[in-house]
């Protein structure tokens, strides 16, 4: 019996009881397994400008080429597909592609696909008008207001899964939410995948740090979903970074091939820090991003045509005084809007941006940068928004408080993406006509009919009068978020998991862990 | 000699020396007297939905009508223009307008006009693709991290003018930045207008609290610019609120008539709190906003065809648990985007939104809400953005720290509105080609050519590594903003003002002040 069957029979609502017991911030009418964008995308460039960017991406691939390392099988695949291979050393190849070649390879990739969750009510679509929010990914550190910054542990990792599962405003459990640095590097992927399965019933990302860890991740999904189901459906995705500029190393390409061969999803992300690994000028960064991500996506189609592949974009800037990376600034917001246009022209799903920030605290800077970045992702038509919650300290730290602030903002974005209803009832002529000029509308039939659902009810914003707020201690948003994550964790209840599956997963982990010595690199 | 001649001969750059001495945050290549939007507007509704909103606005005016109070001259003007007047009491009239009538009256209003500043380098266009940022307006309280919240004084008022003048990221000095509550109500307009003239050399707003105070404001401009210049040019604007729902009181309409008769600008703003003075549903609030603001604008054209009039939109929501107003939420952001579309269909300039927040501190909530609101204004094509800096506590308090955070964000919005350059140089093929795959771009010719201007340099964001930030005290953005406003105030130098004009202004004020007893209501 698969987990799907188990949980769907139970007919539970998404999420745990945690948030149902919350005193505020409930907006049941807005809860969805994923969002369907009901507003147009924000398209800032016209056709000629988009064509210039695409032509530059093609020129990069044709005249500079991509470098591949330590994976001759991937080189053979691209050679067979028409790439011009030049061996630079026994383990390094430069491959150039005639304009349009990579684009042609992408034609078999699906424009939209479903990632199945162990609770089918939490299945998400990736692509088209679907929008999926997932936690931030990859921080070595965690931080909270009580203990400050420290290395992440498996306990932190589980905590963030629980906080995510408890929030109706995320749709996906993410992947390496923080690095569980207390577990050996060569074994922590097992604990991470197990924790996603055990503490969440949403979709998640698997390991990408080595091909055998990718294989382990998929094997655990076979235990959870059944091997046949996994062969026919996407139940896990891997998030792969290019080594910018213009390099795909062997570990990455072998990992990509592992996911694609299993028919599983993969995300193809150039992490572009302007001036360091991409041009400082945003159009150049976007062209490079397109070239790198298209090529990485194309590999999946050479391995298994039709395998789900997601175009990726992560644009950042740097402080011109210190050389430090900067996140959540205005220039990448423009770049993200353009990446949305380019992804649609390719008919590929897009992962883009998130609640980015360079701040070291969940303060004004953090949320100003987060909103600049997150709105660009929401407006550009991005489909999968990793880094939707918790991102702080330039992605070096997952913040407990910012996680809560971000998820609350994600809730408001459900309203935003629903757009503006112009039905007769929403136009509300009767509301004004009932009492006429100069009369408050508090008691009108229209107000009474709509007041419970008209506006998003934030769980964290303080909207009280200053006097009340002051009498209650005058605390700031970060302090409220601190109390909130503790309350949510305390109220968390794990979603049910078939004990037989749980035992099989634990057996698999034990076998794997005992088969090799610990490694810390 | 007019002030214009004085300051233009000096040929000073905009702004004072204050910011030039700052150690960071200088972006001279981005400084402009006002922004020309180089990105498209974000249009979220299609033609049929917009027509439904417009038809509802017309229906409101035709079937419910607007109520006018205590200004028979305005009633006569609207009657003569075709309005159907019904006297409800000796001082209260309901006027209904056939669909299209108000729209026809607006055809003489300019789509774009120039507000002249005493330094002509600071003249701003209002309308079209021009975007003008101005400080927040109308708070009775001020707050800072040192003293908390207290009633605003004339010293606070002057401080905010100085802070605004010192920021290259605002373009206009605003109006009642905070209420100078230490000056009698019937005289404070004189000190406010004088302070704008004395401490800033940008455009500003005059008094609207009584018709004679509007007249005084314009009279002071005649001293500054010369009477002939004022008769032929817009040098001051008044910001007028309707008494929603659907009322224009006599004080307001007489003030509007005063500005219009003098050929000066006016802004026509329904302040719509959903569920209280407008429908809870955003489409209804937008339709009402359009009806009220169009009617208020139309009055100017009856007084003096061609007088500058600005459509206004201020949409807010309320907390469904407490009934408190909420600002900077997602629903009004959608409404603002639609108001931009409607203003363009009317060919009228638009004032819309700003850096709104309900927070009582310059914290995460404050800037999250601010960005949600401000980006909607920037994206909707709004032309005049009052409330661009300082807005906190639901507009009850001007915050010194948020003023600095907001202006810094306004700087980044200069970049945003400049859009994405897709010139060959910006596409940066050479940057990647120079060293090829796998090589950092720090030292490429492209990077060296662009690094000084590629990215906005924030004066307030902390982009340092965590360790450096921690060693330096680990302070938050609000604390940095606190230090910053003090440094900017300390470095402030007033722009030069012809002593003869200064003396004439002071004489005018003295005469006015001695002509009447103090009044505190």
SS (H, E, C) A338-384: HHHHHHHHHCCCEEECCCCCCCCCCCHHHHHHHHHHHHHHHHHCCCE
Tokens representing residue B157 in the block: 């008022």
User: What pLDDT was estimated at residue B353?
Assistant: 95
Which of B419, B422, B442 is the closest to A276 by Cβ?
B442
Contact flag B275-A460 (C-beta cutoff 8 Å)? no
Contact flag B441-A277 (C-beta cutoff 8 Å)? yes
Contact flag A477-B359 (C-beta cutoff 8 Å)? yes
CA-wise closest residue to B440 among A85, A289, A280, A282: A280
Tokens representing residue B487 in the block: 């440094």
DSSP B466-490: HHHHHHTT---HHHHHHHHHHHHHH
CA distances from A31 to A351, A415, A457, B52, B357 (A): 22, 10, 13, 29, 25
Which of B365, B402, B460 best probes binding to A when mutated, by most A CB atoms within 10 angstroms?
B365
| CA B147 distance to own-chain centroid | 27
Over range B386-414, report the average pLDDT. Answer: 98
Contact flag A375-B372 (C-beta cutoff 8 Å)? yes
Whether chain B has a CB inside 8 Å of the CB on A338: the answer is: yes
User: What pLDDT was estimated at residue A20?
Assistant: 40
Over range B181-194, report the average pLDDT. Answer: 98
A396 contacts on B by Cβ (under 8 Å): 466
A469 contacts on B by Cβ (under 8 Å): 360
Contact flag A415-B330 (C-beta cutoff 8 Å)? yes
Helices marked H in B141-245 — which ranges? 154-166, 188-199, 211-225, 227-232
Nearest CA in chain A to B358: A463
CA distances from A288 to A244, A285, B514 (A): 9, 5, 70
Whether chain B has a CB inside 8 Å of the CB on A331: the answer is: yes
Q: pLDDT digits over B86-114, tens only? A: 999 999 999 999 999 999 999 999 999 99
A432 contacts on B by Cβ (under 8 Å): 60, 64, 245-246, 278-279, 284, 288
Q: What percent of chain B has pLDDT over 90?
A: 94
pLDDT band at residue B23 using 50, 70 and 90 as cut-offs: low
State yes or no: pLDDT of B53 exceeds 70. Answer: yes
Contact between B91 and B84 under an 8 Å Cβ cutoff? The reply is no
Contact flag B321-A457 (C-beta cutoff 8 Å)? yes
Contact between A451 and B275 under an 8 Å Cβ cutoff? The reply is yes
Whole-number average pLDDT of chain B: 95
Whether chain B has a CB inside 8 Å of the CB on A422: the answer is: yes
Whether chain A has a CB inside 8 Å of the CB on B413: the answer is: yes
Which of A282, A377, A463, A484 best probes binding to B when mutated, by most B CB atoms within 10 angstroms?
A463
Whether chain B has a CB inside 8 Å of the CB on A64: the answer is: yes
Whether chain A has a CB inside 8 Å of the CB on B108: the answer is: no
User: What pLDDT was estimated at residue A74?
Assistant: 98
Global ipTM: 0.95
Contact flag B363-A363 (C-beta cutoff 8 Å)? yes
B340 contacts on A by Cβ (under 8 Å): none
A65 contacts on B by Cβ (under 8 Å): 437
Which of A252, A320, A368, A454 best probes binding to B when mutated, by most B CB atoms within 10 angstroms?
A368
Whether chain B has a CB inside 8 Å of the CB on A429: the answer is: yes
Contact flag A326-B455 (C-beta cutoff 8 Å)? yes
- What does the DSSP 8-state code read for residue A461? -
Contact between A95 and A63 under an 8 Å Cβ cutoff? The reply is no
| A 468-497 residues inside an 8 A Cβ radius of B | 469-470, 474, 476-478, 481
Whether chain A has a CB inside 8 Å of the CB on B463: the answer is: yes
Burial of B473 per CB tally in 10 Å (0-12, 13-18, 19+)? exposed
User: What pLDDT was estimated at residue A320?
Assistant: 78
Report all structural domains of chain A as residue ranges with CATH numbers, in order of start: 4-42+105-418 (3.20.20.480)
Please list the pLDDT of chain A residue by residue as tens digits (521 residues). Answer: 333 333 332 333 444 433 443 457 889 999 999 999 999 999 999 999 999 999 999 999 999 999 999 999 999 999 999 999 999 999 999 999 999 999 999 999 999 999 999 999 999 999 999 999 999 999 999 999 999 999 999 999 999 999 999 999 999 999 999 999 999 999 999 999 999 999 999 999 999 999 999 999 999 999 999 999 999 999 999 999 999 999 999 999 999 999 999 999 999 999 999 999 999 999 999 999 999 999 999 999 999 999 999 999 999 999 877 889 999 999 999 999 999 999 999 999 999 999 999 999 999 999 999 999 999 999 999 999 999 999 999 999 999 999 999 999 999 999 999 999 999 999 999 999 999 999 999 999 999 999 999 999 999 999 999 999 999 999 999 999 999 999 999 999 999 999 999 999 999 999 999 999 999 98
| Degrees, nearest 5: CA angle B387-B393-B398 | 50
CA-wise closest residue to A205 among A181, A169, A241: A241
User: What pLDDT was estimated at residue A311?
Assistant: 98
Contact flag B447-A478 (C-beta cutoff 8 Å)? no
State yes or no: pLDDT of B364 exceeds 80. Answer: yes
Which of A45, A280, A286 is the closest to B450 by Cβ?
A280
Look up the pTM and report it: 0.96
| CA–CA dist A516, A504 (Å, integer) | 19
Whether chain B has a CB inside 8 Å of the CB on A57: the answer is: no
Residues 6+ away with beta carbon under 8 Å from A486 = none
Q: Is the dihedral of CA B323, B325, B331, B334 positive or negative?
A: positive
CA-wise closest residue to A19 among A494, A489, A458, A488: A488
| Degrees, nearest 5: CA angle A206-A493-A208 | 5
pLDDT band at residue B521 using 50, 70 and 90 as cut-offs: confident
Contact flag A326-B359 (C-beta cutoff 8 Å)? no
| CA–CA dist B107, B155 (Å, integer) | 43
| B 152-191 residues inside an 8 A Cβ radius of A | none
Contact flag B243-A438 (C-beta cutoff 8 Å)? yes
Instruction: Say how many C-beta atoms besides its own lie within 10 A of residue A310's C-beta.
Output: 29
CA atoms within 13 A on the CB side of B314: 31
């Amino acid at each position: 019996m698969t987990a799907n069957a188990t949980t769907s029979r139970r007919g539970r609502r998404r999420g745990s009881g945690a948030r149902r017991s919350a005193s505020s911030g409930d907006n049941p009418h807005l809860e969805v397994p994923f969002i369907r964008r009901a507003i147009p995308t924000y398209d800032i460039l016209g056709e000629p400008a988009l064509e210039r960017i695409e032509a530059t991406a093609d020129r990069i691939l044709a005249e500079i080429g991509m470098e591949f390392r330590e994976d001759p099988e991937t080189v053979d695949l691209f050679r067979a597909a028409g790439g011009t291979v030049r061996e630079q050393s026994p383990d390094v190849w430069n491959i150039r592609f005639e304009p349009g070649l990579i684009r042609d390879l992408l034609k078999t990739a699906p424009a939209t696909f479903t990632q199945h969750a162990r609770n089918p009510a939490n299945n998400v679509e990736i692509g088209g008008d679907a929008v999926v929010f997932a936690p931030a990914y990859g921080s070595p550190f965690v931080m909270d207001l009580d203990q400050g910054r420290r290395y992440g542990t498996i306990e932190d990792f589980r905590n963030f899964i629980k906080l995510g599962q408890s929030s109706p405003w995320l749709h996906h459990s993410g992947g390496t939410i923080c690095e569980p640095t207390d577990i050996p590097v060569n074994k922590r992927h097992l604990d991470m995948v197990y924790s996603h399965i055990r503490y969440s019933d949403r979709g998640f990302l698997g390991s990408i740090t080595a091909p055998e860890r990718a294989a382990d991740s998929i094997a655990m999904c076979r235990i959870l979903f059944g091997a046949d189901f996994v062969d026919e459906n996407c139940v896990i995705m891997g998030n792969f970074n290019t080594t910018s500029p213009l390099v795909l190393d062997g570990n990455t390409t072998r990992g990509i091939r592992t996911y694609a061969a299993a028919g599983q999803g993969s995300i193809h992300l150039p992490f572009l820090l302007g001036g360091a690994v991409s041009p400082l000028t945003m159009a150049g960064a976007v062209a490079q991003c397109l070239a790198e991500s298209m090529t990485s996506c194309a590999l999946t189609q050479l391995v298994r045509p039709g395998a789900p592949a997601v175009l990726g974009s992560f644009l950042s800037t740097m402080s011109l005084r210190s050389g430090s990376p900067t996140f959540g600034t205005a220039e990448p917001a423009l770049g993200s809007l353009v990446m949305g246009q380019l992804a649609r022209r390719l008919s590929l799903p897009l992962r883009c941006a998130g609640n980015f920030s360079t701040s070291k605290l969940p303060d004004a800077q953090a949320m100003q940068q987060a909103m600049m970045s997150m709105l660009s992702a929401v407006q550009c038509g991005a489909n999968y928004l990793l880094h939707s919650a918790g991102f702080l300290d330039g992605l070096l730290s997952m913040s407990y408080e910012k996680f809560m602030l971000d998820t609350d903002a994600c809730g408001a974005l459900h309203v935003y993406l629903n757009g503006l209803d112009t039905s007769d009832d929403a136009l509300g002529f009767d509301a004004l006509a009932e009492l006429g000029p100069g009369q408050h509308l508090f008691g009108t039939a229209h107000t009474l009919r709509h007041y419970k659902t008209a506006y998003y009810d934030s769980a964290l914003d303080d909207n009280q009068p200053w006097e009340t707020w002051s009498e209650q201690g005058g605390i700031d948003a970060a302090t409220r978020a601190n109390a909130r994550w503790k309350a949510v964790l305390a109220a968390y209840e794990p979603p049910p998991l078939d004990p037989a599956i749980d035992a099989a997963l634990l057996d698999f982990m034990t076998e794997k862990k005992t088969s090799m010595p610990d490694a810390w690199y």
